[in-house]
Chain A
Amino acid sequence: MVIAVAMDSREGDPLPWIDAAKPTYPTLIDREHRLAELYGIVNVPQAVWIDEAGRIVRPAEPAGAYEGFRQMNRATREMPEDVARRTAQAKALYLDAIRDWARNGARSPHAFTAEQARAHLPAVTEDAATAQAMFRLAQFLLRLGERDVAERWIREASRLHPDSWCIWRQGAGVTELGLAAQPDFWARVDGLGAKRYYAPVDMPGMP
């Protein structure tokens, strides 16, 4: 079954999306980014596969997301055709893999062995752990109405854990669509250079 978790700290932000999707599965709201603490999640969409016994089959990884958005025309939001095709391909491949696992369980080629799963665990630094604690403090202070102080803590958290787009984008100003896609976002993405926005996914055929 699917459990979808909105890494959304601002009250009410995820609701219009959930209402529109009318999901048949649990949709949970993670205001403190608890899953980031526990599973090393740094971006969305990232997924974890968990079997019937509660064991991690595939640790946190980008869920069918593709780097191609970086080649999007930022004014028109259009993507080159070959990029759009690979974007769709990445998503379809990942969905097929999930279905294969749902049907075949541990026999699925996409289900990691214990050794493979351990080899794919996210790297967690002590700075990242401290950053998540700062993020949690910031969210609590926001609830108390201490906005300026909270924003300073989120900036510090992001400085300590620069790989976390969850922290940065949660703290960023938003566009008219509610997306953290202001010029600051694109500058930060461009600043990655050759580094990936979405970590590579170990799945045959994944672009």
Chain B
Amino acid sequence: MVTVLTESGEYALAEAEASTTALWCPAREADTATGWVAKPEGLCRGAVCVPLPAGREREFVDGGRINLAALWRHLGQPAVRSERGHVWVLSASARERKAALASLEAPDFTLPDPSGRMHRLSDYRGKKVFLVTWASW
């Protein structure tokens, strides 16, 4: 069992197997956690498909499983694993963050208030938002 933290949340992947360099996930788990699926064209997420490097396909896709760590490295996106391999963070690259900001569309997020109620930035469309950070420290 491996816990994977991605852009869309936290996922306890019962059948994922981690080594020091690989994170093999059954296709369904990989799709749920990251949106990436294997197709004849390569690995795809939404409208984007990435062809697998010739001769190295088995590093990425093997018998219905996807090696998310290999994919993340290939895409130049941060993949950080705990020493024990039980927790992985699969993140977006700086290039992706910058491109999102360059669109000037305020990236959406969902965060809780003290009562635990979740608020989405996009809930407040139609009003000007002054988004300000602070901290107890």
Contact = CB atoms under 8 A, between A and B. Distances in A.
Interface of A: 1-8, 10, 13-18, 26-30, 34-35, 37-41, 44-56, 59, 63, 98, 101-102, 105, 114, 117-118, 121-122, 124-126, 128-130, 132-134, 136-137, 140-141, 144, 146, 149, 153, 166, 169-170, 172, 174, 178-180
A8 B80 contact: no
B5 A136 contact: yes
A46 B133 CA distance: 5
Interface in B1-56: 3, 5, 10
Nearest to A171: B137
Contact of B107 (A39, A124, A128): A39
Interface in B88-137: 89, 91-95, 97-98, 100-102, 104-109, 111-114, 119, 121-122, 124-137
Nearest to B118: A28
6 contacts: A2-B130, A3-B129, A3-B131, A13-B135, A39-B101, A126-B95
Contacts of A44: 133-135
Contact of A8 (B94, B100, B131, B135): B135
A14 to B, nearest CB: 5
A50 B131 contact: yes
Given A3-B130, A63-B132, A121-B102, A132 B91 contact: yes
A162 to B, nearest CB: 15
A102 B130 CA distance: 9
Main secondary structure of the interface of A (DSSP, over half): mixed
Contacts of B137: 8, 13, 169-170, 172, 174, 178-180
A159 B38 CA distance: 36
A41 B107 CA distance: 13
A114 B104 contact: yes
Nearest to A17: B136
Nearest to B132: A47
A39 B98 CA distance: 9
Interface string B44-86: 0000000000000000000000000000000010111111000
A177 to B, nearest CB: 10
A38 B5 contact: no
Given A3-B121, A174-B137, 17 more contacts: A1-B129, A4-B132, A4-B133, A14-B114, A17-B136, A28-B113, A29-B112, A30-B133, A34-B109, A37-B91, A39-B131, A55-B104, A121-B102, A124-B101, A133-B79, A133-B89, A137-B87
